[in-house]
A and B are shown apart, each in its own frame.
Chain A
Amino acid sequence: GQNIDQPTEMTATEGAIVQINCTYQTSGFNGLFWYQQHAGEAPTFLSYNVLDGLEEKGRFSSFLSRSKGYSYLLLKELQMKDSASYLCAVNPGNTGKLIFGQGTTLQVKP
């Protein structure tokens, strides 16, 4: 079957660093995505990894290990506006039909 696991909730402090993990077991692998979704808003694209390693984009970085079926999203210098749900999704093939995890709700506290 297809399965993507991520923690349901996380809490962190403003200015700190937080790592959101995602593990996956899928029939195939053609890339992993991270999306951010603020309450009541559209999910927005954050990052895409298809090769092993770290991709950095400003305060956000995403890491992939294909052999371990594992990814994480690293958020540095947390800001209050980073409070949101973070969705991990895998493209198992070549059809663009993503499989999503349930999302991790991050609460940033002052």
Chain B
Amino acid sequence: ETGVTQTPRHLVMGMTNKKSLKCEQHLGHNAMYWYKQSAKKPLELMFVYSLEERVENNSVPSRFSPECPNSSHLFLHLHTLQPEDSALYLCASSQDLGGGANVLTFGAGSRLTVL
């Protein structure tokens, strides 16, 4: 496979459940990101990892817990979510973190519905 792959594509969970979103990139990139995309709102940056170290946590509630075990994989662990957390969660990667022309390659997203 090439590019950025996200699983599952769709997830429905109750507020008391624990689930995880997975992202894998086959591009040899060093930086990975989690974005939240809600209807009619700009993409919100949640977490950034560079060389497996977290470099950004944009005031995200602790019910979202990221994990980056290596430079190719990124997880978002979910627990005790709220209905307002229902959104499309996009994973992205880029060659590095710095520089102006830092092109992001996105996955197709995981559509999360919290009941």
Contact = CB atoms under 8 A, between A and B. Distances in A.
Interface in B12-32: 31
Interface in A36-82: 40-45, 48, 50
Given A4-B42, A96-B96, A102-B40, A42 B101 contact: no
Nearest to B102: A96
A100 interface: yes
Interface residues of B, number: 27
B43 A42 contact: no
Given A42-B107, A44-B106, A91 B100 contact: yes
Nearest to B56: A97
B42 A102 contact: yes
B108 A40 contact: yes
A97 B99 contact: no
A100 B99 contact: no
Contact of B98 (A89, A96, A99): A96
A8 B104 CA distance: 23
Q: Which 4 pairs across A and B sit closest by C-beta, in order of nearness? A: A96-B102, A100-B43, A31-B100, A42-B106
Interface of A: 4, 8, 30-31, 33, 35, 40-45, 48, 50, 87, 89, 91, 94-103
Interface of B: 3-4, 31, 40-43, 45, 48, 55-56, 90, 94, 96-109
